[in-house]
A and B are shown apart, each in its own frame.
Chain A
Amino acid sequence: MSPKKLSLKEKYSLLTRDLEWEYSYRDYKEIFPQEEFEGIKITDWSKWEDPFRLTMDAYWKYQAEKEKKLYAIFDAFAQNNGQLNVADARYVNAVKLFLTGVSPLEYQAYSGFAQVGRQFGGVGARVACQMQSLDELRHVQTQIHAMSHYNKFFDGLSEFNHMHDRVWYLSVPKSFFDDARSAGPFEYMVAIGFSFEYVLTNLLFVPFMSGAAYNGDMATVTFGFSAQSDEARHMTLGLEIIKFLLEQHPDNVPIVQRWINKWFWRGTRVLTLVAMMMDYMLPNRVMSWKEAFEVYFEEAGGALFKDLARYGIEMPVYAETAIAEKEHLSHQAWSIFYNYTHAAAFHTWMPNEREMDWLSEKYPNTFDRYYRARFEHWREMERAGERFYNPTLPMLCQTCQIPMGFTEMDNPTLIAYRQSVFQGERYNFCSDGCKDIFDHEPQKYVQSWLPVHQIFQGNCGGAEMEDVLAGYYRMNLGTDNLDFHGSPDEQRWNHWHNLQTAAEQMKKAS
């Protein structure tokens, strides 16, 4: 008997797909109770094409090798005080934004993929989702470990998870993922597996990871490289789910299209945080948000949607708006955060002259015309000892939860307001996209835990801002918040590098 060689595909099929059986003691619907309520029609799970064929033994082996290398770098980073090599201490605020805003989403992805990894009736889809769940757990944990060393030397990181559940701007990414996870399993996959991991992922991870590379952050960049092969698997899974759903039944097409519209818009709103990070928070700029958007969405996304046209899928409805916004998004977002830094757990600052010039060059249509004068004015105020903070609480969009600071694209001096009335209540939105999302599922979005509302209702520790910030948010006031200039972060950094702040120099001179 000479053993015949099974092909990789046959073998994987025997080792995974063939494990499934037809239930007879219990009803299929009892075992997979979530498969029908979204209106998606699955006629044959066996048509699922495995996006990658990785048996567990191979998974353990490869991932263990990657972990070994990764943790060796983390150890070396800590031992050699790698934090001293970042471009300047302002950079660490991008790390803070990442750990408080993005890492908890990796955790949500772990949970979400475990949910669908149990709920799908097809074993091929289940197993692929389970592996992604495990990868996402890896991501949150390695990020916590990568940033653990920064936490020892910089402020604003130490309560990352407590803050993620409570702080006003962190409700933007949190509500995004809550939205996906509270949807059904198929919408979750279109939202996260496809729209996020496939269409938008390069606009999140490339900016952060190349930002890290350009700014001397070895810990984060090593993590980024190490996660790349995981992400490649996640992208193939995201594409497979779309193709599978569209091929299963024509009735799925309009449902999937609506989800793509919704999640593209939801996603671009979350990416606002990335846009301002790229244009304002990186001392060494990689590329502008506008350029990134052009490369990673307009070009790559354009090609993708051309490819999906044969299924009857079109470009997301609000793609045009998002393209117009690329000229404004980061400047408007940074303005909002500059205004409210007293209530944020990271520092902001006004760009210096060289940085303003870079922005003028990268945004020839908008920066000088709409933003530069305002920023120079704020910089003047700071120099005069009157750094501007906005003492009011902003109104938030009911859907994306970003403060209502975005403008009309045809009139960038006019704040955009949209409204809907539902059961006698009026709700506010930052955009047509957010209003449409609400109008389609109002019962869902009236539930939004809007941080500013909650503060006014007294659910966040008290009536005084200090109760909210120091008490409920657990912010160290005067340390985690306010302008970078004058912060303990800055002082420590200068001390390590034997630099003097302008203020100290003045004192000595006099």
Chain B
Amino acid sequence: MTIEIKTSTLEPVRNTYEHIKRRFGDKPASRYQEASYDVAPTHNFHYRPYWEPDRELNDPRRTAIVMQDWYAHRDPRQYYYGAYVQARAKLQEITEANYAFFDKRGLGERMDEAVRARVIRCLVPLRHAELGANMNNVFSSAYGVATVITQAFLYNGMDRLGIAQYLSRIGLLLDGNSGASLASAKEYWMTDPVWQGMRRYIENVLVLKDWFEVFIAQDVVLDTLVYDLMYRQFDEVLTELDGGDIAMLTEFMKEWHKDTSRWVDAVMKTCIAESDHNRETIGSWVQDWREKAVTDLSPLAEIAVGEGALNESVDILNKRLAKVGLNS
């Protein structure tokens, strides 16, 4: 039941800002709308950037994707800053409880040596890949178009830093807080043949100039594959090996990926529906990066899960792409 509290009613002169009214009509607006639409500067930039003199400061030509109006996008989660930090604070609270439980029960010490070694070799090195994902998403936030898109890239980028930190804490829980597991994981990341493909892939994305291609290579192709491979399939492997306790520590990643996928799919759908040009451009990027990913991830997939694992993940990727309007 809602109780209506009477306050002296004054008639407002207008319901919302004019640019919000032009988009959504003359009615009170949501906080998401006011915070996200038509906020980025669009006109009359004063100087060409020293770092890219043939472009304006904010320039839609930094990607091959063309939208008549980039504000056609909408984040289904309706994250503006306040909503975003509230959502993450909730998720981290649950995560914190899980980590504390794992620690208190000494589950790390009780873990089978072989399982521990497998986690350190196959999961913990992902912390470096997550740092790459952080940089890639911040890149798209910095050079992308329209707040409704770029703010979500920043949230995503910071999320990836958070995930890199959780993965590091998994290492610390497994090595009695000595940091030894993190040192081994880094060694794997740098020299183990199992990880070199993944590292090469990330470094290749870090040099891209088109922010939407970065998004495709990182958030669409690589993340779909890796999150299925590591947080579903590898998880099942660990459970079989009696290492299911780890799942408690990767709950955040799973929940996060579900959450972010809603946004990733929405971006894809809107861009693909806009024009054939966009669909074809995105299609060719997807093909290109999926091919690279299959080569680059297969050693890891085989060691972490086993033969055929990557194919399963690729199937999932393809289904996801079909859903947003991209048939292979």
Contacts and interface: CB of A to CB of B under 8 A. Distances in A.
Q: Does A pair with B?
A: yes
A130 B51 contact: no
A197 to B, nearest CB: 18
Interface of B: 5, 7-8, 10, 12-19, 31, 34-35, 38-51, 57-58, 80-82, 85-86, 88-89, 92-93, 95-96, 109, 127-128, 130-131, 134-135, 138-139, 141-143, 147, 150-151, 154-155, 157-159, 161-162, 164-166, 168-169, 172, 176-179, 182, 186, 189-190, 199-200, 203-204, 206-207
Interface in A4-39: 4-6, 10, 14-16, 18-26, 30-31, 33-34, 37-38
B182 A4 contact: no
Contacts of A158: 14, 17-18
9 contacts: A21-B199, A56-B165, A117-B142, A133-B138, A138-B81, A141-B82, A161-B19, A174-B41, A448-B47
Contacts of A104: 41
B208 to A, nearest CB: 10
A46 interface: no
Interface of A: 1-6, 10, 14-16, 18-26, 30-31, 33-34, 37-38, 55-57, 59-61, 63-65, 67-68, 70-71, 79-81, 84, 104, 107-108, 110-111, 114-115, 117-118, 123, 126-127, 130-131, 133-134, 137-138, 140-142, 144-145, 148, 151-155, 157-162, 164-166, 171, 174-175, 178-179, 181-185, 444-445, 447-449, 454, 474, 492, 496
B50 A183 contact: yes
Given A31-B207, A111-B58, A166-B44, A60 B19 contact: no
A57 B93 CA distance: 9
B19 A67 contact: no
A117 B47 contact: no
Among the interface residues B44, B58, B127, which one has the most CB atoms of the partner chain A within 10 A?
Answer: B44
A5 B157 CA distance: 29
A67 B82 CA distance: 6
Given A18-B168, A26-B203, A158-B14, 16 more contacts: A15-B169, A30-B207, A80-B7, A107-B41, A108-B41, A115-B143, A130-B157, A133-B141, A142-B82, A148-B17, A151-B16, A151-B17, A161-B17, A161-B41, A178-B46, A447-B47
A133 B154 contact: yes
Nearest to B58: A111
Contacts of A1: 109, 176
A161 B199 CA distance: 42
Contact of B135 (A2, A5, A118, A140): A118
Among A3, A67, A131, A449, the one with the most B-chain Cβ atoms within 10 Å of its Cβ is A3
A81 B154 contact: no
Contact of B41 (A134, A152, A165): A165
Given A21-B128, A138-B81, A492-B13, A178 B204 contact: no
A380 to B, nearest CB: 33
Contact of B162 (A24, A60, A110): A60
Nearest to A11: B172
A25 B200 contact: yes
Most buried by B among A10, A14, A24: A14
Contact of A157 (B17, B95, B157, B204): B17
B10 A496 contact: yes
Given A26-B207, A107-B40, A181-B49, A151 B14 contact: yes
Contacts of A183: 50
Contacts of A65: 89
Given A21-B186, A165-B43, A166-B43, A184 B51 contact: yes
B17 A184 contact: no
B86 A64 contact: yes
Contacts of A79: 5, 7
**Secondary structure of the A contact surface, majority rule:** helix
Contacts of B85: 59-60, 63-64, 67
Q: Of residues B15, B93, B179, which shows the largest number of chain A Cβ atoms within 10 Å of its Cβ?
A: B179
A347 to B, nearest CB: 15
Q: What 8 A-B pairs are tightest by C-beta distance, nearest first? A: A56-B162, A64-B89, A152-B12, A114-B142, A141-B35, A3-B177, A19-B131, A60-B88
Contacts of B88: 56, 60, 64
A466 to B, nearest CB: 18
Contacts of B44: 165-166, 171, 174, 449, 454
Contact of A449 (B10, B45, B179): B45
Nearest to A175: B46
A159 B17 contact: yes
Nearest to B177: A3
B165 A134 contact: no
Given A60-B85, A449-B45, A25 B172 contact: no
Contacts of B157: 130
Given A159-B17, A166-B44, A14 B179 contact: yes
A124 to B, nearest CB: 12
A39 to B, nearest CB: 12
Contacts of B92: 57, 60-61
A129 B80 CA distance: 19
A181 B57 contact: yes
Contacts of A63: 85, 89
A18 B182 contact: yes
A85 to B, nearest CB: 12
Contacts of B134: 130
A152 B15 contact: yes
Contacts of B41: 104, 107-108, 161, 164-165, 174
Nearest to B42: A165
A179 B51 CA distance: 12
A160 B168 CA distance: 44
Contacts of B48: 182, 447
B199 to A, nearest CB: 7
Nearest to A152: B12
Nearest to B196: A25
B138 A152 contact: no
A400 to B, nearest CB: 11
Contacts of A454: 44
A117 B10 contact: no
A145 B34 contact: yes
A61 B10 contact: no
B267 to A, nearest CB: 18
